[in-house]
Structure 1
Amino acid sequence: MERLEYQVELEWDGNVGSEAKVREFSFRIDTKTDGHNSGPNPTEYLLAAIGGCLTVNWGRLIKKMRLKVESMEITVYGWRDRKEPQLKEITYKIRIVTNEPEKKILRVKELAEKYGTVFNTVGAGKIKGEVEIVRPR
């Protein structure tokens, strides 16, 4: 089995935030509630990671299947109760502009979810998605 390894280093800012370093990239993690609002909070990064995972897989599959797609937008939502520190629901919506048959687009959705690392780590059963196919003029 080929093993892929990932590493992130974080340096605390002395309050509740940090500077995260991934390979040659860095980004802020903070909160707007008791931090300095200098970056998204960890939950927002989690939702962005889910959306990024879907985008990468959709992009790969669109190329592999040679589909003609004018544009695609993915929005990921999550909510939690203030008293319980767990997202109760994670949903996403993909808006795709294409003339490709609905059957092919839904196959992309199925495969992107099946092979998404972040998607499956969070738990495919916890994430619900829908696709809106918009026909170009």
Structure 2
Amino acid sequence: MGEKNPVPVLDWAKTYLEHPDKEIRREICHGIELRGRTHPQDILPLLKTLEFDETKRVSNTLIHVLGQIAYKNGCLKTVVVHLNTWENKPLVEKALDEIVDVHDRYKKFAVLTQQEAIDYIDGNYNPKN
């Protein structure tokens, strides 16, 4: 997804994150996941626009995507730093739980062990509120 020329693709995707159709918002959220696995800093600001989406399918997809990008090499730090700026603390807590769970479910592929992920989150997630 936008591997060779991501800016136009991400700009296009951004225009649909507030679309009135919940399925379009959900699909865009899920669609930008692949870019986030290698460049989480590119998609986290876009994902943040969905933090207060009231549609359960959208918020569940958002939590899923955050988990999917956080277990990749070098991504946990970037995700946690960004989640420190989010205001929807209940959603962030669910995302952090998903991140920890993903580190176990995908332990063969995760850079960190589940315990290392827990320790990193415990030491670095510092919400302002």
Q: TM-score, normalised by structure 1?
A: 0.28
Quick check: which one's helix share is greater?
A: 2
The structure with the largest alpha-carbon Rg is 1
